[in-house]
Homo-oligomer: A and B are copies of this chain.
Amino acid sequence: MKLYERCANDIAELIRNNTLRPGDRLPSVREASAARGVSRSTVFQAYYLLETRGLIEARSRSGYYVKVHRLPVKFSAPEDSTPACVSRDVDIGHLVFDLLGLAGRRDFVPLGSAFLSPSLCPLTRLARHLWTEMRDFDPWRLIEDLAPGNEALRRNLVLRYMTDGIAVNPAEIVLTNGAMEALNLCLRAVTRPGDIVAVESPTFYGALQAIERLHLRAVEVATAPDRGIDINALAAALEQHRVAACWLMPNFQNPLGSLMPEDRKKALVELLASKEIPLIEDDVYGELYFTEKKPPPAKAFDTQGLVMHCGSFSKSLAPGYRVGWVAGGRFAKKIEQLRLMYTISPAIPSEAAIAAYLDQGSYDRHLRRMRQALTGYQAIAIDAVQEHFPHGTLMALPKGGYFLWIEMPSAVDALQLQTLACKRGISLAPGPLFSSDRRFRQCLRLNYGHGGDPRFVPALRAVGELAKLVMDESRGVAGGSGAPPQQDRTIRPAA
């Protein structure tokens, strides 16, 4: 770590433990330089870094101050489990494809995108690994590596699990074309058409689409933005339905950003084990934590081999390389066979380059940089939402990932907002994308992974203003009809 980074971290710690409070003036560059015995440029760099991370702000002609965050109102878990606990056929196709269509357009500000800014990733170094690995690649390995897949990469993954205190057998690791394929294969491995799958509410649209495509039915279970899925509600759903599998995101859930506490994860795994129900664990954001320690996946508590833990390098290292994996527990063999029949293998150059990168040992350093950037982006996003969105807008404060789930006043229709934002060159992911019956109409998932984009804050401001507009218009109409669309609310803030 460089000197200015250490210096910035010291100050960040003082802010975190409230020694420096919001609004406090920091020592001037000259003072700090003298006090710490470092050069002025080091102090400058440190302050600049803290500014980027959203922790301090420069006020012109006056110096640096600890930034005032109006503390966001947190959601609580819903008091009553509001998703109607019935299994449903799913159909959210068009909303999703519209969104994906915009994701690739560089003239759009990607607030609705599911992708992180690729500029955070070490793309040139990966490219160099592509060349050095493939220039004299043993041709035979182009066949040999198809199954079970690049050995060095699988070994690295097992070592990373081990470092996290999780015992995973190398034979359990199946490499896939990104986590999307891993999740799809897992779902197929443990279900047959007509089966019921339990998911969070709201949930990742990819899960809903996979369920639709495999002719399965979804049961949505109440989930709180701060603590994740409600274990009691899940237990009740398991009593009521013959659930064939659960598809959940205990770490930094998409779209909520929720993180399940460890004891909840343990209770979840034990509940499912008692009924022999497999858990498909989507953990693609697990490395992007802002907490002190890396949160363990539910897999860490699995003693029965029932948890299929799905990860990916797409969000954290190598977007577009399409390499993910699953530690498939007792289903690993089945999953691998399905992959052989479907795509045969991930791209062998991609696997080889990532394996070489991991071998070099700089992945963790890269992840630290990335988390630092995202922490800052989150602060920027929270600030902008608080400043520009309608009064009464609520949001959770995710401890990782790059999504912010916000709930606007019920008069705001997110689908209408999306249409308006689209005309201004801004993509949005409206709440109805995340349930099979289009609830969460006043919610948005905001991607702050592009927080370094100069268009980011202006776009948030524009959306906030549009939301106010929609709200005013809607209230005019609702006042006339006397029917405010309250019945759509499914997650209520605690009183």
Contact = CB atoms under 8 A, between A and B. Distances in A.
B146 A97 contact: no
A481 interface: no
A5 B224 CA distance: 72
A428 interface: no
Contact of A123 (B115, B137, B184, B215): B137
Given A321-B349, A346-B322, A123 B100 contact: no
A363 interface: no
B341 A322 contact: no
Interface in A296-341: 319-323, 337-338, 340-341
A118 B139 contact: yes
A117 B141 CA distance: 11
Contacts of A72: none
A347 B319 contact: no
Nearest to A194: B193
A124 interface: yes
Copies in the complex: 2
Interface string A95-128: 0010011011110001001010111010110111
A142 interface: yes
A239 interface: no
A142 B319 contact: yes
B347 A320 contact: yes
Interface stretch (A10-18, A175-183, A375-383): A175-183
A348 interface: yes
A137 B142 contact: no
A338 B212 CA distance: 11
A180 B341 CA distance: 7
Nearest to A193: B193
A152 to B, nearest CB: 15
A345 interface: yes
A423 interface: no
Nearest to A104: B144
Contacts of A168: none
A189 to B, nearest CB: 11
A213 B189 CA distance: 10
Interface string A192-231: 1100000000000010011001010000000000000000
Given A97-B340, A118-B142, A127-B133, 12 more contacts: A118-B143, A121-B139, A127-B134, A130-B349, A142-B320, A177-B347, A180-B344, A181-B342, A192-B215, A321-B348, A346-B347, A349-B350
* Leading 10 A-B pairs by shortest Cβ distance: A131-B131, A347-B347, A127-B134, A320-B348, A142-B320, A118-B139, A177-B343, A130-B130, A118-B142, A104-B144
